[in-house]
Amino acid sequence: MVRNQFHRLASGAVLSAVLWALIATSSAVAQEVQDVDSGTEAGDDESLPPEVEPSPSSAAPAADPVAVSPAASATGDEGTTPTSPGGTSGADGPTPPGEAIETTSENTPEAVPEAPAFVPHREHTEPGDDAHPMDNHPVTGNIHFAPGGGLRIQSDDGHFGVRLSARVQPRWTVVNLPGISPEHEITLRRARVKFQGNLFGPDVRFKLELAFSPADLGVRDNLDPDTRTPTRSPLLSYFVEFRHLREAEVRVGQFKVASNRQRVISSANLQLVDRSILNSEFTLDRDVGIQVGSRDIGGLDLFTYSVGIYSGRGRDARGFGDFNLMYLGHFEVTPFGSFEAYAEGDFERTGPRLAVGTSYAFMDRGARDRGPIGSPPADGGTTTSHHYFADLMFKWAGLSVLSEFAWRDGSRAPGGNLDDSGLPIPAVPPRDGWGLNAQGGYILPWFPLGIEGRYAIVHGLEDSSLGDRQEVTGGLSYYFMEHAYKIQADYSRLWRTDSMTDGSDRVRVQLELSL
């Protein structure tokens, strides 16, 4: 009872935080619109994205000087208007309030030009600006290519930009299972295309990532009629971020949930060929939802946080159901200042840098056995689970160390599925347990070679359906162009019992090539 009340209070707190951030963001956007209406320029150099250098065409054009008559210039007057509610001075003395001034050659040095005909908003020939954001925004030379960073196109005013990148991971794997002849697989483990950028200013960001490899689409064996049909959408991630408020940036869409650090790190930026067995069992992967957070709380360059509400259905979520949502909170501290804490390996070779993070997630009556991912229980019931994560990343002079800990416990609500005999299927116990991943690597200072090692364990608790597993992996990485262009090889010993001698062997060789 106390636990349920606690989770109701926690859920209410998360909902309140999200609603507050949405209201605050709406107020910030409304203030920007008001500034535009009142003539405030929003194209100053400091408002441009950090990667965009200000160009001459991005500066606000100077206002045209007001034409005044020679007589007005001589007397210091700033000109007159056809009517003046408050009264004004003409050639013959003061004009009463509200009375029109007679326009003659004596008080008008030049003929007033006829007002231009109305031009529809979409037909303006001038470049887009804050007052006309839907007009064309020219691109004159703001096209750049960076190895691993892709092709970037940026409008001159910095209000619109997109970066296109692509990468592929060809992999060869050999496995040697006990009592079975060695087998191998040659495949494209990942093949992805990514678009990301900003629109309508530097504070609205987006990311779209598509995945096309057989593994990404859920194809297990293209020669097996039962497993060769794709089971997943190519849409891997798609979200929009609103960064108007530093303390409450809002993200909406499908994206990686802030669970264990190695899952949030891109698979392109790993030291070994792939992630650990802790990640495969405990990660919360991607989900559809809304998240509020800050990448720099208070501007101190020390703390980050995020809280979010998610569908609980995982990637490709669709369909109606009860309000069985997932709630998550994440907090991180970088005591020596921010750095590249979400990429393995230390190419910068600077002084000590440290990031320590922790997360908690509550899955309310989930339809799968591992939160938003995994398989539905055979009995058809639901699983309410608690997920705890703690991790750290340490880098220093070419050394990189990553450590992760995960814990999950939950309770099952049996369903009403029947077996072939018409009898109820017994409820499957929850996958309660914990996992640990400890790995490190060192990049040689005189040669672009990385030496890496890892130990990981997954342990099931009492009365759990989670089995024990352990992993020892060692590998080498040769970096042609850091993570953008590298070749990696690793060897793993995997076992499920207390004895390492009863396990299997795995060898992997992989090329990473990023546009």
For 82-94, what is each residue's pLDDT tens digit? 444 444 444 444 4
* pLDDT score at 10: 54
**In the 8-state DSSP scheme, what is residue 300?**
-
**Which CA distances in Å does 252 have to 149, 306, 364, 487?**
24, 13, 20, 35
Q: What whole-number distance in Å separates Cα of residue 64 and Cα of residue 18? A: 46
**How many CA atoms within 13 Å lie on the side-chain side of 36?**
14
pLDDT of amino acid 373: 94
CA dihedral 8, 9, 10, 13 (to 10 degrees): 120
CATH number assigned to the domain comprising residue 194: 2.40.160.10
Q: Per-residue pLDDT for 318 more than 80?
A: yes
Residue 123 forms part of a structural domain: no
Q: Is pLDDT at 485 greater than 80 in this prediction? A: yes
Q: What is the DSSP annotation of 475-488?
A: EEEEEEETBTEEEE
203-237 pLDDT per residue, tens: 999 999 999 999 999 998 888 888 888 889 999 99
Give the position of tokens 């210091």.
76
What confidence tens digit (pLDDT) does each residue in 449-480 have? 999 999 999 999 999 999 999 999 999 999 99
Number of domains, the chain:
1
What's this model's pTM, rounded to 2 decimal places?
0.75
Across the range 333-345, mean pLDDT stands at: 97
Residues 327-337: tens digit of each pLDDT: 999 999 999 99
What CA–CA distance (Å, rounded) separates 339 from 345? 12
Q: What is the pLDDT of residues 353-405, one digit of tens each?
A: 999 999 999 999 999 999 999 999 999 999 999 999 999 999 999 999 999 99
Domain that holds residue 487: 2-34+142-514
The answer as to whether 85 is a domain residue is no
Residue 241 in this model has a pLDDT that exceeds 90: yes
87 belongs to a structural domain: no
In a domain, 472, yes or no: yes
Q: Any idea how long the chain is? A: 515
Q: Mean pLDDT, to the nearest integer, of 170-181?
A: 94
Tens-digit pLDDT profile for residues 411-455: 999 998 998 888 999 999 999 999 999 999 999 999 999 999 999
Please state, in angstroms and rounded to a whole number, the distance separating the CA atoms of residues 16 and 257.
20
Give the residue, 33 or 432, on which the prediction is more confident: 432
How does residue 80 score in pLDDT terms, banded at 50, 70 and 90? Answer: very low
Q: Does any domain span residue 95?
A: no
Distance CA 458, CA 437 (A): 9
